[in-house]
Structures are given as C-alpha cells and as structure tokens.
Amino acid sequence: MTATDKPDFVPIYDSLVAEHGDVPAEAREAAEVIQREAAEALDWSRVRGGG
C-alpha cells in the first residue's frame, strides 16, 4: 500500500495516536516482555543442570 492508496480514515487514526499514543504497539511491547519473563520463569534447565 502506497501513501496514495491509504484509506480516508488514516488521518483520524493518526490524530488518535497523537492524542493517546500508539496503544496497539505498546500492548505488543508489553506482551513481548511478559512472554520473555514467563519463558525465564518456566525455564527449568538450570535446575536440572542444563546450563
């Protein structure tokens, strides 16, 4: 999709992002942090002598 192909509602989305922040991106980042922390918490390899 090029800049000329963008739908008309994009400026509304852009103004919402400017006003409230990019909530989907922030949620994605938070989910990635939680997934890393969960993987570390559930990693039993050090307990079993794997590392």
> Does residue 3 form part of some domain?
no
> Does residue 39 form part of some domain?
yes
> Does residue 28 form part of some domain?
yes
Q: What share of the chain is helix, strand, coil (3-state, %, to 5)?
A: 65, 0, 35
Range of the domain at 34: 9-47
In the block, tokens 């039993």 appear at 44
> Does residue 22 form part of some domain?
yes
Count of domains for the chain: 1
pTM for the whole structure: 0.57
> Does residue 4 form part of some domain?
no
> Does residue 25 form part of some domain?
yes
Question: pLDDT means per 10 residues in the chain (51 residues)?
Answer: 59 88 94 96 79 54
> Does residue 2 form part of some domain?
no
What pLDDT score does 32 carry?
A: 98
Two structure tokens written together for 6:
């963008």
